[in-house]
Structure formats: structure tokens, C-alpha cells
Chains A and B, each alone.
Chain A
Amino acid sequence: MTQTDSAQNGIGIGAYIAKHIREYGLLFALIAIMAFFQIVTGGVLLRPVNITNLFLQNSYIIIMALGMLLVIVGGNIDLSVGSVMGFIGALAAVMIVTWKLPVGVAIIVCLICGAAIGAAQGYFIAYWKIPSFIVTLSGMLVFRGLSLWLLAGQSIGPFPQSFQALSNGFIPDLFMVGRPNILAMAVGVVTVLVLVWLGLRTRARNARYGIEDEPMGLFVLRNAIIAAALLFVTWKLAWFRGLPNVLLSMVILTVIYVFITERTTIGRRVYAVGGNAKAAKLSGIRTERLTFLTFVNMGVLAALAGMIFAARLNTATPKAGFAVELDVIAAVFIGGASMAGGSGKIVGAVVGAFIMGVMNNGMSILGIGIDYQQVIKGLVLLAAVFFDVYNKNKEA
């Protein structure tokens, strides 16, 4: 058939939203879920201390979702991240608490160890073509077992202050006011300005090349919502203890991964491999090496997440990271990635992780039992993917 003419420039706001329903839907879903819990928890959700908690509680999931997105876009899956995270936390505890190694050394060894674990799994997946589901399922068992062995079934802790700072530390207020924390607010304002500036620059470039872009009204509205949310959050944070260290590392990592996936050749190639590995290979892309690298990357991020998690609890426990892989994978799929590979966005995965995080947090505040929590989270995942498939069918 001849192509439909919907891709022409200058379409209305409604039509544009309909076409990009997935991206806007995700944003609205997050806002709606937050509003819902804000109301039913009687305002507890958005208290400064709870917002801070939200970031601390979910940081490790978001960090792993960044790596998981690349793995899933590349057409694979990693079931081992929860176990790897627990194992690295245990390793860190043994090195720092039991062996009294310097914290800096331990952190570096842990990251290298994470890379090595990713490399080992990636090797079998990329070069021996063993399905990632199987390799990482075995990895899940292996590293769960190894962390039990390492900890001898006990919890090890506490960590020295310098290691705890990975998670529980706050960036000191450079302006010496303390409360409200001026640095936090300044960072909020600067971030908003940078986002708007980047958005305008992209619009200008799109206009120059005649690339279809969102209508101006929608651009203003979307940025206003995001700016308001950012300023609100930083304002709240400023009235508690300021910017958590972990928030900073999360934001920096997110920015780096957005850049990698959208602007670099290596990011493009990962999408190409996930979209059609054979065509990518015949286009001169070294598909095996890329797949291998996505797993190495995942291993490093899982190691980082493991340390942050251990630092937050101030102890390494044999149960750390149990079933976390499922939350991470769910976040990526809620964020709109396709199981078949080749599509998905970093920002989507991060928002997906926040949706999971807000639900966990909100339901815990309400005192909803872990039984119902699981049921609800499961249904939300199904609903998100159903929404995706439904829209795709409507398109076709």
C-alpha cells in the first residue's frame, strides 16, 4: 500500500500526543501514581524525608536499569543481576570489614569483579551463542550460592563511615546555610535551565533539518511540568539534608547513558544488533563484541548497585538482592522497551523504575502487605506492556 500520510509536518497537538502516546503516557502515569499516593497517604509521600528515602531506596534499581536497558535493547536478558549485586555487597563486606582493606581499594576491586562476572557471562552468550536466559539463570544460582558461602550464612557489618557515604552521604551545602540547603536549590534551578536550553537547541536543529517535532505548546507544557517537578523535589530536599550523594551519581550516570544510547556510534550499534543481528553483522558491525560489552557494562553497574545497597543497610546480608532482577527487568519493560530487542529508551527505563519505586514506597507507607504489593506490581507491569501492544496493534 502507499504510505499513510500521518507523518507530515505541522500536525496538531492531539494528533502528536496520539502518535507518541507511549512516552507521554509514561510521564502521566508517574504523575498520576504520585498524586494518588500523595492523597491516600495524607501527604506523607512528598515529605522531604520521604522524597530523600525514595531516592535512597531505589537508586540501585535505577542504576541497574540503565545497564539492563542496553542488555534488553541488544536482544538479551540478564537474570543474574540481583545475585551479582548481593555477591558484590558480600565481597565488599568481607574485604572492608573482615580483611580491613582500604575502602578505595575495595571499591575498585568490586567494580573489576563485576566487570569480570559480566565478561564471563557475556562470553558464553556472545561467542558461544548460548541463550542469555540460560547463562544468566545459571549465573543467578552461582552467585546466590557464592554470596552465601562468602558470608557463611551470616550478616557482615557495620561498614566504616567512608563506605556508608556511598549511599547515605549528602553533599555539603557550599553556601553554608544548611537548611534550606542553597546548593540543592541552585542545582535544581541550573538543571532546569540546562534541560530547557538543550530542548530548545534540539528543536532548532530539528527545524533546520525539517525533522518532525512536538508542537510548541506541548513542548512548553511538558517542560513546565518537568521543571515544576524538579524544582519541587529539590526544594523539598533542601529542607531535609540536601542532595544525597547517590542522587548525584544516579543523575550523572543517567545523563551519560542517555548520551551513549542516543548520540554515540556504539549506542546506535547496540540498537542495530537488537533490531536485526544478521543485517547488522552484514553491515560490518561486530555484533558479538557488542553483546559481550553490554554484559560487561551490566556487571559493573550491578557491582556498583551492590555496594550502594550494602552501604545503605550498613551490612551485607545473604538475602541482599533477592528477586531484585525482577524489579529491574520490570522497570525496563514498563519504560517501553521491547522484549524482541532493538527499541527502548534510557529515560523510559528510569521513569519505569520510579513508577515501581513510588508504588513500593507508597504501599509500604499505607501498610499494604507484601502479598498484595506483589500482586499490584505484577498487574501494573502487565498493564504497561498491554498498553504498548494495544497501541502497536492500533497503528497497524
Chain B
Amino acid sequence: MSALLEMRHITKTFPGVKALDDVSISVRDGEIHAICGENGAGKSTLMKVLSGVYPHGSYDGDIIYAGEPASFASIRDSEDRGIIIIHQELALVPLLTIAENIFLGNERATRGVINWPETFRETETLLAKVGLRETPGTRVDSLGVGKQQLVEIAKALSKNVRLLILDEPTAALSESDSQALLDLLLELKAQGVTSIIISHKLNEVRRVADSVTVIRDGATISTIDARGGDLTEDRIVRDMVGRSMENRFPDRDRHAGELVFELKDWNVWHPEQRERQMIRDLSMNVRAGEVVGIAGLMGAGRTELAMSIFGRSYGRNISGEVRMNGQPVDVSTVDRAIKAGLAYVTEDRKTLGLILEETIRRNTILANLGAVSNRGVVDEGRETEVAEKYRKAMRIRTPSVFQKVMNLSGGNQQKVVLSKWLFTNPELLVLDEPTRGIDVGAKYEIYNIINDLSREGKAVIMISSEMPELLGMCDRIYVMNQGSFVGELTAEEASHEAIMSLIVRE
């Protein structure tokens, strides 16, 4: 097979930073090519160079596409040649229908008048191709993330895609949706579509990729060919972080103490659909120094459970009892929950966890402003000291605590969120997907922080869709399905199979 795309010696500098330094990558026609690298390694920049977001001339190096040199001036240019990017954050208009979204900007129309029958017919064909059983007139906001992803791919197909680029396509998908998506990629490959996927999920990379390029610090580290047989997760991780990672999870000694947190007979109803019960008669407990996992598929109700406990931030008609250290506590509003010793690190740090326009310092003290102020007047010196303390303790990589958090990488942002909650001095920390979208190295650091916390005697609840993470970190795992716990496993009993069988047995 010949190369469909070759990017040679690409160098891209921003003021003060060399984002890409002599990166080369070669993608064979008809393969699935994975690009791996830590956050900030330069993957997205490389794709922006390829798609014309950074136009020809703003970078050094050559792009050879389909046998001839390419000089894209805009996304439009690259799309015309069949290069389509699907970004991590989906670019669909939620209030429009599937058909309208697919042909947005590319309408089936004569002189500005849309030909609806043709639009719908073509949409049906495309939906059949991607295996999405929905009617073209369905509004996109009524679809789950997995299905929306398929709509994006259908949209790409409508533009006669030759090279499909997917940036973290499965980051927000459940296990089964991810599998379906990967199957679709393999199917498209059989039909001659070449794909580039950027992914942190190495098991998925191993499953579908024909070759892998690893990028670190803006430079190509290696290209691994799956046919050569040395495509192992360990190899990729080693190249990504620049050192061998024997163990992806730090060792932890288990030392459960007194009962800290108890939840009894918790019931929660859906905020809008009054008949729908989201959490049913659920009880759980966590001891001091214990890390307790909650496993479950997407939609099992894990985030809903956490948010309903944390100041009734989700749901209605909430009933049940929360006890801290044996005493019933009031968690009916967020500030009361914080006072009771709870902290909730949200799943979505950008929209729920941080004020992106604000500095690290302001974000760090946000949940406990009272502690750095006297009678309502903020002591900026104290504020700075606190932020500095956490910057050092968490090893947040930044020139200063006066940086806006939107300039930080995902891992460092997550550390800011953790700082914010640790500063409230909680007894129980609920971590919802604490390592989502974070690179391998930063994940390891977050795991270390969690272990430190449990050593200090904090109780930790960890909600995660990444099974290995739960298995590697937790002392005990509750398995959740459809709003109830369907099982409870100790670290010794827990395994991928044991958890999945509990879920599917229901």
C-alpha cells in the first residue's frame, strides 16, 4: 500500500513556544493510523496544520496528500480534498434535526431552496451506512453522545471523505458505544476510508490501529507497525512518557479505619420526567482511608447519585439519610454539604468545575472563600499563599498562580479542581471520572494524590468508566446498574469479568 498522506518535517512555532519540532508522519492508504501522545504533546496542533486551520505558510515542512504537495489555506480547502476532522467537542447544532445537521453548509439545494426529499433520502442512506437507527427528522439533542458521534461520521461521509480524522472519539462514550464506533471504523476501512484516530485509550488503539505514531514534546518519537507484532500497550506508554512504566497504578497499602460516610435508603427521581426513578433504595458506606469505587455503564446513575447527595444538585423528591461519623447530617444545599465535610469533584471540569477565565489562585479558594477572609474582606496575601501551597503540593505546572486556568493542560486543570476541594478540608471526597481526558503521566500523579489522601485518613469515592483504574485503585467496588447497586466486591474479588457479569446478569 502506498502512502495517502505524508507530513514531512513539520515545524510550527507560536510566540515563545515551539509546538511542533520536525514532526513527520506517514499514513498508508486504507489503514487506521493512531496518534498517541500526552496532552500538550502536539497532536491537535499537527491535525490543525493538516486540516488548514493553520494555513499553508504559517508552518515549515511539507504535506504530501494523495501523491501531490498540498497547501491548504483553510478547512474548506482540506475538506474539498476529502480530509474531514471530527473534533472531541462535537460540532452539531443541538436544536436542528439529523438531516439538517448532516447537510449543514452543504445543503442539497437549487438556487438556495432546499430539496427536502433528496436531503432525507440521502440522510437515510448515510444513517444506514453508519448503523444509526433513527429517522432523519430526529432532533440531535434527543440523541445520546454515542449516537451524536455517529451523526458526525455520517456528516463526514456526506462530504466524500477520504481521510477521516477523529480526535478522542470515544472519550465521552460508554463501553458499548465505543465498541460500536470502533467496529464502524473497521467497516469504513474495508470500504476504503483511511482514518487517523487520536486516543488515550490504548486498548482501543491496539484493537483497531494498523500503525501508531507516538508524539512527545512536539516531536515524533516512534512509528510502530501493528504487522510487526510489537504493538503493545507497554511499548506505547513507554514512548509516550519517555520512560518505562512498569506499573500504571502506584502501590497502595490498605488501611480502612472508622466508618465515615453512610448513605441509607437513598431515592431520587428525574428532575423533569416525574415518573422516572433514577436512584432506587440505595445504601452504601465508606470508611476513613478507604477508596471505594462505583462501577457501571454510562447511564447507570453514578453521577446522578453523587450530585443528588452533594447539595441536591440533581433530581427531585430526594429521600434517604446521610450520616457522617455516625451522625445524620444536612446535605440539602451545596454549602451545607461542604460544611458536613463532603467534596464533589465533577465529571466535567470545564463546565462544572472551573471558572476558565479566572486565575488558578481565584479558582483554588473559590469553595472556601471564608477561610481566606475576615468579616467578608478577602485577604489577598493569604489567598496567594494558599494557592502557592497547593501549586507546590499538587505540582501544578504553571509559571505562576496568576495564570488563567484555561491556559493549563487537562491534567493541570484537574489538579486545580482537586486543590479547590482539598482546601475545604473534606472528610469524604467524591471523585467523578477524575482522570478523564488526562494523559498517562498526569493520571499517575492523580493516583498518587488519591493515595496520599487515603493515607491521611480521607474517605474517597471514585466513579470511573475506566475499569482498569477502578481495579487498580479501589479497596472496594460497588457495581451500579439502573439506579441501584447490583453488587459489592472487595479488591480481591473484583475483576473486569466479575463486574461485567454483575451488570449483565440484571
The chain A residues found within 8 Å of chain B, CB to CB, are: 1-8, 205, 208-212, 263-266, 268-269, 271-272, 275-276, 278-286, 342-343
Contacts and interface: CB of A to CB of B under 8 A. Distances in A.
B370 A265 contact: yes
Contacts of A205: 380-381
A62 B246 CA distance: 65
Nearest to A5: B16
Given A280-B366, A281-B313, A264 B358 contact: no
Nearest to B400: A7
Q: Nearest 7 CB-CB pairs, A to B?
A: A275-B355, A284-B335, A283-B367, A209-B384, A276-B355, A4-B16, A284-B334
- Among A271, A275, A279, find the residue whose CB has the most chain B CB atoms closer than 10 A: A279
B346 A282 contact: yes
Contacts of A279: 346, 351-355, 366
Nearest to A275: B355
Given A264-B376, A265-B373, A280 B384 contact: no
A14 to B, nearest CB: 15
A95 B194 CA distance: 80
A150 to B, nearest CB: 38
Interface string B372-394: 01001110110011000000000
B434 to A, nearest CB: 15
B358 A278 contact: no
Nearest to A276: B355
Contacts of B358: 271-272, 275, 342
Given A211-B402, A280-B366, 8 more contacts: A1-B19, A3-B408, A4-B407, A6-B15, A275-B358, A279-B366, A280-B355, A284-B367
Nearest to A342: B357
Report the contact-size class of chain B (Cβ under 8 Å from the partner).
35 or more
Interface of B: 14-17, 19, 40, 42, 45, 310-311, 313, 333-335, 337-338, 344, 346, 351-358, 362, 366-367, 369-370, 373, 376-378, 380-381, 384-385, 398-400, 402-403, 407-408, 420, 424
A260 B419 CA distance: 26
Contacts of A281: 313, 334
- The SS class assigned to the B binding surface is mixed
Contacts of B45: 1
Contact of B378 (A210, A211, A268): A268
Contacts of A266: 376
A1 B42 CA distance: 7
Nearest to A338: B357
A6 to B, nearest CB: 7
A209 B338 CA distance: 29
Contacts of A264: 373, 376-378
Nearest to B387: A209
Given A4-B14, A205-B381, A209-B385, A282 B313 contact: yes
B35 to A, nearest CB: 16
Given A268-B362, A280-B366, A286 B17 contact: no
Contacts of A211: 384, 402
A3 B407 contact: yes
Given A271-B358, A272-B358, A272-B366, A212 B338 contact: no
B352 A282 contact: yes
B403 A265 contact: no
A2 B351 contact: no
Contacts of B354: 276, 279
B17 A1 contact: yes
